[in-house]
Amino acid sequence: MTGLVFVDSNVLVYSVDARDPRKQRLAHRWLDELWRAQTGRLSVQVLNEFYVNATRSGGVGLAQAEAWAVYSSFRAWQPQAIDESLVDLAREIQVRHRRSWWDCLIVAAAHVQGCSMLLSEDFADGEVMAGVTVRNPFADRVQETIAGYAAIIARPEPRGRGRPRRTPVVSSA
């Protein structure tokens, strides 16, 4: 796999959630590949969302110590902090794409880190925002092969005003 890949908290949560074995297996497969290739990225926001959702009663129910161990291991992925420039970019994304604030912070963090792909089930598969292409790692056509993402889309430079350019989506079909 080439290029940097931003991972949303739902992928991390499924990696520790045995209630859905299929999604857990796919999450592990993606994370294993990203660790091997050293191309995984995330943000402090993602890590915090993971910790809350993994330890929530009635949810995954992971012990706080176990969730903290997972949280701490992902610090090696250089988590993006939320600062003023990230907030400004998130606001531009929100205005342009009319998404939730939290989603825009994630897209902005992926963009700032130079990621061309965002793994998340919380967006439309194939959606492009700020030069970042969203892929649902649990979608049937996406799960066929991780290797199909070797031809990652080049990240276009952010544009100023006006309508966003549509970036072609590379498919493995």
Three-state SS at 154: coil
CATH of 4-150, one of 3.40.50.1010, 3.40.50.12280, 1.10.3720.10, 3.90.550.10: 3.40.50.1010
pLDDT-based confidence at residue 145 (cuts at 50, 70, 90): very low
**pTM of the full structure:** 0.80
What is the predicted pLDDT for the residue at 59? 82
Q: How many helices (H) and strands (E) does the chain have?
A: 7, 5
Given a cut of 70, is residue 143 above it in pLDDT?
Answer: no
Lowest-confidence region among 72-81, 138-147, 160-169: 160-169
**Res 64: pLDDT:** 96
Model pLDDT, residue 57: 85
Name, in order, each residue with C-beta under 8 angstroms of 95's C-beta and a sequence gap of 6 or more: none
Summarize pLDDT for 6-48 with one digit per residue, the tens. Answer: 999 999 999 999 999 999 999 999 999 999 999 999 999 999 9
The predicted-structure confidence for 148-169, as pLDDT tens digits, reads as follows: 544 443 334 444 444 444 444 4
Q: Are 4 and 115 in contact (CB under 8 A)?
A: yes
Distance, CA of 62 to CA of 119 (rounded, Å): 22
In angstroms, the CA 90 to CA 103 distance is: 9
Delimit the domains of the chain by residue range: 4-150
Band of the pLDDT at 58, cuts 50, 70, 90? confident
What pLDDT was estimated at residue 160?
Answer: 46
